[in-house]
Amino acid sequence: MKVIITRPTETGLQFANLLDDDFEPILIPTLELRFKKIDTDLKKYNWIVFTSPRGVMGLYKNKNNIKNFDLANKKIGVIGVETEKEVKKLFGRGADIIPKKYTAERLLEELKKHINEQDKILIPTTPSARDILHKNLNADLEFVYCSEEPSNIAQKLKDLKEIIKYEELKNNKIILTFTSGLTAKNFFKNADSELRELLKNHYIVSIGEITKKTVDSYGEEYNSIIPKKYTINGMVEIIKKLRNKN
């Protein structure tokens, strides 16, 4: 069963490696990441809040550029378990705050329980990220990475149409996956009407409710499914269940 992975190439390969031999992963990255240099002073911040593993990596890549780079006395908030894993991997410590539901809204709720008006927060992120935390907290944004559309998306999606048509001749369904609203937005922006129509007969697995809303905005007819836990492993579990329906 073919699984279309729209993550950036490096993380897309990691996703593909989680699938067993019953699946054929096809990588069609709808964005690629570019990490950026920043110059700030961590001394003025009480909290560092990460909304994705890329934000963690982006801050880590700047450790030699940042003044007073010491996280030992900082409080750390993360949006979910995958982001905390990256914090542990790169910084050797866990998070102080992690919401039960992995959305920016729930992270904001949890942070408000623990921060005070004097606390200053740093959010290493990307310009394309949702702005809910910045608007509601005493926070500074540092753009440690940006997302760019690959130049070959249109051709990749033309090839995908032919793949889907061939699978339909064999009465097979494909699974299209999105791990962020931006991966979905870039996909549908470059998909023509024929491809969009074809996809209505296949499965779409979105990592969480915000990503699903983006998919649904392009058509309520899409069979977009989200896992109980908004993680890649949660998506893999859904994909395995869909295999048995095929």
The domain tally of the chain equals 2
Q: What is the mean pLDDT of the chain?
A: 94
- End-of-domain residue from the set 122, 147, 172: 147
DSSP 29-56: -S-EEEE-----BGGG-SEEEESSHHHH
Asked if 37 and 143 sit in the same domain, the reply is yes
Q: Which residue range forms the structural domain that includes residue 76?
A: 33-147
User: CA 230 to CA 80: how far, in whole Å?
Assistant: 8
Q: Establish how many alpha carbons lie within 13 A of residue 63's alpha carbon, considering only the half-sphere containing its beta carbon.
A: 8
The predicted structure's pLDDT at residue 129: 81
Per-residue pLDDT of 144-177, as tens digits, reads: 999 899 999 999 999 999 999 999 999 999 999 9
The predicted structure's pLDDT at residue 244: 76
The predicted structure's pLDDT at residue 130: 81
Q: Tell whether pTM > 0.75.
A: yes
Three-state DSSP class for residue 76: strand
Per-residue pLDDT of 31-52, as tens digits, reads: 999 999 999 999 999 999 999 9
Asked if 90 and 17 sit in the same domain, the reply is no
Of 1 and 244, the structure prediction assigns the larger pLDDT to: 1
